Amino acid sequence: MIARRTAIRSDIGQAFVELALVLPIFILLLVGAAELGRLSYSSIEVSNAARAGVAYAAQNHITASDLAGIRQATTQDAPEIASMAPPVVTQSCSCATGATVTAVSCTTAGTSCVSPSRIIEFVQVNTSADVDTVFHLPGIPNTVTLRGQAIMRVEQ
């Protein structure tokens, strides 16, 4: 009976030593998983903001030229990302005649594409945001730049 009591007492100390060794690693894994999840969420928001901007622009030729509306659609889609830079909007036009496609300026596409040619217009929206990490861990940058891009054809 005395031998049994001393065996139990020595096991209690061993469990605390194991807990003290494993707990910092476990906490580091939990912090890393939380930070990775937060950065993933921010990355999805930045990409979806680009998609929202290009979806607004692709409605017709008028909305494709409405830069203020595109910016508003982009920023309203990601209000949680305060550090998002203004989106970069690019238009590209081409004149399609059968199987031949030639690049033209979007401002002169109406006059340079003669019938039976048709104008094909694309809008591209690029978004970016600098996101600060909550936990500053050694070897991991404190700021991560996230980028989003979307390209869509404008409805005729």
> In 13-138, where do the E strands start and end?
88-97, 100-104, 118-132
Tell me which DSSP letter residue 106 carries: S
Question: So where are the chain's domains?
Answer: 2-153
The dihedral sign for the CA sequence 134, 137, 143, 145: negative
Q: Which of helix, strand or coil describes residue 98? A: coil
Model confidence at 36: pLDDT above 60: yes
pLDDT tens, position by position, 39-90? 999 999 999 999 999 999 999 988 998 999 999 999 999 999 988 999 999 9
Choice between 109 and 7, residue whose per-residue pLDDT is larger: 109
Model confidence at 138: pLDDT above 80: no
pTM confidence score: 0.78
CB 76 within 8 A of CB 50: no
CB 87 within 8 A of CB 56: no
pLDDT tens, position by position, 104-137? 887 776 677 777 878 888 999 999 999 998 888 7
Measure the N-to-C terminal CA separation of the chain; round to a whole number of Å: 91
